[in-house]
Amino acid sequence: MAATKNFGPKRLVVGAHYGVVDFIAQRITAVIMAVYTLVLIVGLLVMPSFSYENWKALFTFHVYALPVGQILATLFFFALAWHAWIGVRDIWMDYVKPTGVRLLLQVLTILWLVGSVVYFAQILWSI
């Protein structure tokens, strides 16, 4: 009986999504970040003067008592963290071959991203 080839064009590809979800998620997060960046640029251009109060108003404006500025900034930062996780995780998976080192780097990346999101939320929502 011949040995089964598990690589190349005739490999069995059942049971995994092979990156489609990550591809779509990274594109969606990129669109969110691009739109928010354009909104910030427009906000900076129409700002009467560059002062702390006006800068703070970019992130804390309300619409009908809803903190829209903070919600949009938080959505942007979550999108940034998710986008970064997908990209950095793929780098670790592609270029770091020892499993233990790769796992350590992935765990450190997760801890760094979660810490960054918590720190961001603490700063933004305490304004």
Average pLDDT over residues 88-112: 95
Q: What is the CATH number of the domain that holds 74?
A: 1.20.1300.10
Average pLDDT over residues 114-119: 97
| Helix runs in 14-98, H state only | 20-46, 52-60, 68-95
Give the pLDDT band (50/70/90) at residue 4: low
Is 83 annotated among the ligand-binding residues? yes
pLDDT at 14 over 60: no
Is 95 annotated among the ligand-binding residues? yes
Domain count, the chain: 1
Query: pTM for the full model?
Result: 0.82
C-alpha count within 13 angstroms, C-beta hemisphere, residue 70: 14
pLDDT at 41 over 80: yes
Q: Is residue 2 part of a domain?
A: no
Q: Is residue 103 part of a domain?
A: yes
Q: Is residue 7 part of a domain?
A: no
